[in-house]
Amino acid sequence: MIKRQNGERKNPISLNESFACLNCHKSNPQAQKTCRNHCKYCLYSLHVDDKVPGDRNSRCHGLMKPLYINYQGKKGMQIIHLCQTCGKQIPNIVAGDDNLELVTRLMQEQNIIPPKRKR
């Protein structure tokens, strides 16, 4: 375990749990090669972590809506989730069995306004 100078943990805690989505109510199995932290069907998540991924210390427990896709070098594509209760944004890595139609739609929605042409 890696700790900061103040003694707080900073590395993720590996939890790979199955769960029922609170948005679409579908059952989500454990992930194959990673930890599942959002619904593979509707891409919604739950605000359960506080300072470290996997710590399950959040007092909020709000539903987190998928906002957009971000690309981060080694981490690859990430879904940026917005908590509908407290407004916190949290990135989650796109899983191999996520609903690719919804992932693609989020990527396309980011380009709704075309860039202005120079005249």
pLDDT tens, position by position, 45-86: 999 888 877 778 889 999 999 999 998 888 889 999 999 999
Name the residue ranges covered by the structural domains of the chain. Answer: 19-109
43: alpha, beta or left, given left = phi > 0 and alpha = psi -120 to 50? left
Q: How far separated are the first and last CA of the chain, in Å rounded?
A: 56
Asked if residue 96 lies in contact with residue 32, where contact means CB atoms within 8 angstroms, the answer is: yes
- Whole-prediction pTM value? 0.76
State pLDDT tens for residues 12-38. Answer: 555 667 889 999 999 998 777 667 889
Residue range 108-119, pLDDT digits in tens:
887 644 434 455
